[in-house]
């Protein structure tokens, strides 16, 4: 812990004030009704779910040289996860090419199925989508998921496509911002965001403590969000089923790159998750969130629903304490961690889905979504139903 103290002091000294967090979307509350909204949200997972005990039995040959692995798996806050890699995948060494080929083979049907359900929820067809954003950091090919899925789904040839690659757990946020900008002020225009990760394809044969933590947390999943400006589905008599996107903020500390990373190796992508990440986030979360809320005329007590990216149980514990949130406010994030694990970029959209289905937000309720990833980067989005 001694080596982290100078780092924490340096980070706490940074001038994290409203002026230093560049506003992405500043919106007066009175204008909220005119802001783009989430018209539909769908989540998806590959294959069958495995209990944490089953996954440990499946992977324990990777950790034969240590006695700590079972304890780490039991303390991860995860009870079940979904994995695209079948039981035989890690019985033999897998190179980067094999892992990436498996990603493309498994990502396409998962993305197609998730998008199909999202569009059906809004009563739209794939040909009615104007902008398409694909978020991923666990696989890459050219032509990529954006083109291949557009062709499979029958999207228009003049579809505008954007890939958001390599951003990790917060990757859905910049895609949501860009989607919002694409439809703002253009009634009837729609933007589709797909966040899809197959983290299980990159687990490593490494008995380090850090790798065991990664192996105990990460999983696979996808989420699709359809965003439209007011009037986007009025022809079908449909109304927005989700919140309006009011404002967003980003902060990256360029001195902490090594604490959370995802490096390309000859044996897949190697995840790095320092044990100091919860400390660093906790040291800075108040200075990030409070000015962000203040510039929208709000404080923490005004937020009815908190969507915190469940990067791990320790991260949730530390942030709950620093933000003075109660167990009910953290329940949606903990439920996603328990039932799905950390799926990287789609995870925050799973949390929003839980809030929508189980929290039953009322018109006028505010929500705050936040996620953290390589950088260390913090992202937040203010929403209102």
The CATH label, of 3.40.50.150, 2.60.120.620, 3.40.47.10, 3.40.50.300, for the domain at 41-236 is 3.40.47.10
Domain residue extents for the chain? 4-35+243-384, 41-236
* pTM greater than the 0.85 cutoff: yes
Catalytic annotation, pick one of 118, 169, 199, 299: 169
Q: What is the structure's pLDDT at 305?
A: 98
Class in CATH terms, 4-35+243-384: alpha beta
Ranges of residues in the chain with a pLDDT under 70 are 1-33, 64-66, 207, 230-241, 257-263, 268, 270, 272-276
Same topology between domain 4-35+243-384 and domain 41-236: yes
Q: What is the structure's pLDDT at 8?
A: 37
* Known catalytic residue at 169: yes
HEC secondary structure over the chain: CCCHHHHHHHHHHCCCCHHHCCCCCCCCHHHHHHCCEEEEEEEECCCCEEEHHHHHHHHHHHHCCCCCHHHHHHCCCCCEEECCCCCCHHHCCCCHHHHHHHHHHHHHHHHHHHHHHHHHHHCCCHHHCCEEEEEECCCCCCCCHHHHHHHHHCCCCCCEEEEEECCHHHCHHHHHHHHHHHHCCCCCCEEEEEEEEEHHHHCCCCCCHHHHHHHHHECEEEEEEEEECCCCCHHHCCCCCCCEEEEEEEEECCCCHHHEEEEEEECEEEEEECCCHHHHHHHHHHHHHHHHHHCCCCCHHHEEEEEECCCCHHHHHHHHHHHCCCHHHHHHHHHHHHHHCECCCCHHHHHHHHHHHHHCCCCCCEEEEEEEECCCEEEEEEEEC
């Amino acid at each position: 812990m001694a080596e982290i103290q100078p780092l924490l002091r340096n980070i706490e000294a940074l001038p994290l004030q409203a002026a230093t967090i560049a506003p992405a979307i500043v919106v007066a509350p009175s204008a909220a009704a005119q802001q783009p909204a989430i018209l539909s949200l769908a989540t998806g997972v590959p294959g069958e779910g495995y209990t944490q005990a089953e996954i440990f039995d499946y992977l324990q040959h990777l950790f034969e040289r240590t006695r700590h692995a079972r304890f780490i798996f039991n303390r991860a806050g995860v009870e079940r996860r979904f994995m695209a890699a079948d039981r035989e995948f890690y019985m033999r060494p897998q190179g980067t090419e094999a892992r990436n080929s498996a990603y493309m083979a498994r990502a396409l049907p998962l993305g197609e199925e998730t998008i199909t359900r999202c569009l059906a929820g809004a009563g739209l067809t794939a040909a009615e989508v104007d902008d398409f954003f694909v978020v991923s950091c666990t696989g890459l090919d050219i032509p990529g998921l954006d083109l291949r899925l557009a062709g499979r789904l029958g999207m228009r040839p003049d579809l505008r496509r954007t890939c958001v690659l390599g951003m990790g757990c917060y990757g859905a946020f910049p895609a949501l911002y860009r989607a919002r900008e694409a439809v703002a002020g253009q009634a009837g225009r729609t933007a589709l965001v797909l966040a899809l990760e197959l983290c299980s394809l990159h687990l490593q044969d490494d008995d380090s403590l850090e790798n065991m933590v990664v192996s105990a947390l990460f999983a696979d999943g996808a989420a699709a969000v359809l965003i439209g400006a007011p009037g986007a589905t009025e022809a079908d008599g449909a109304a927005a089923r989700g919140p309006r996107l009011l404002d967003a903020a980003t902060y990256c500390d360029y001195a902490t790159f090594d604490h959370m990373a995802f490096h390309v190796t000859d044996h897949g992508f190697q995840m790095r998750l320092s044990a100091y990440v919860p400390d660093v986030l906790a040291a800075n979360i108040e200075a990030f969130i409070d000015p962000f809320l203040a510039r929208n005329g709000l404080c923490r007590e005004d937020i009815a629903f908190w969507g915190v990216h469940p990067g791990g149980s320790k991260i949730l514990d530390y942030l709950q304490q620093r933000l003075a949130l109660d167990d009910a406010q953290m329940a949606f994030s903990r439920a996603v961690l328990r039932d799905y694990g950390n799926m990287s970029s789609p995870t925050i959209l799973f949390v929003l889905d839980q809030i929508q289905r189980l929290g039953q937000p009322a018109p006028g309720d505010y929500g705050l979504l936040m996620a953290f990833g390589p950088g260390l980067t913090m992202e937040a989005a203010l929403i209102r139903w």
